[in-house]
Amino acid sequence: GAGVSQTPSNKVTEKGKYVELRCDPISGHTALYWYRQSLGQGPEFLIYFQGTGAADDSGLPNDRFFAVRPEGSVSTLKIQRTERGDSAVYLCASSKGDMRTDTQYFGPGTRLTVL
């Protein structure tokens, strides 16, 4: 079946601009996660949705970052007033949301470059 998809695959923007990154999870997966991966590092957690609500947004670095999942499926990560330090690969993952045996499946990521 179809995996997690993310669009765009690459995004180049200028410092100060607003960007939106989209994630389409595996059908039927209730949990959705956003991570950020910088060069030479492992992915770092940003935010987690269970259904439509953000169950944990403790990883968002500051209030320039915001994410929504209005219908419990597709999610959009929004970054305002982008800074050069926001350049990274933004990964989305989804899972069935089982409490004890949850397995997350990752999308291909969006590579964000802030000039």
Return residues touching another protein (CB under 8 A): 31, 33, 35, 40-45, 48, 55-56, 59, 91, 93, 99-109
Question: Whole-number minimum distance, CB 36 to another protein, in Å?
Answer: 11
SS (H, E, C) the chain: CCCCEEECCEEEECCCCCEEEEEECCCCCCEEEEEEECCCCCCEEEEEEECCEEEECCCCCCCCEEEECCCCCCEEEEECCCCHHHCEEEEEEEECCCCCCCCCEECCCEEEEEC
Closer residue to another protein (CB): 55 or 115: 55
Closer residue to another protein (CB): 82 or 90: 90
d(CA 52, CA 72): 4
Question: Whole-number minimum distance, CB 4 to another protein, in Å?
Answer: 8
Closer residue to another protein (CB): 33 or 65: 33
Closer residue to another protein (CB): 27 or 39: 39
Question: Whole-number minimum distance, CB 83 to another protein, in Å?
Answer: 23
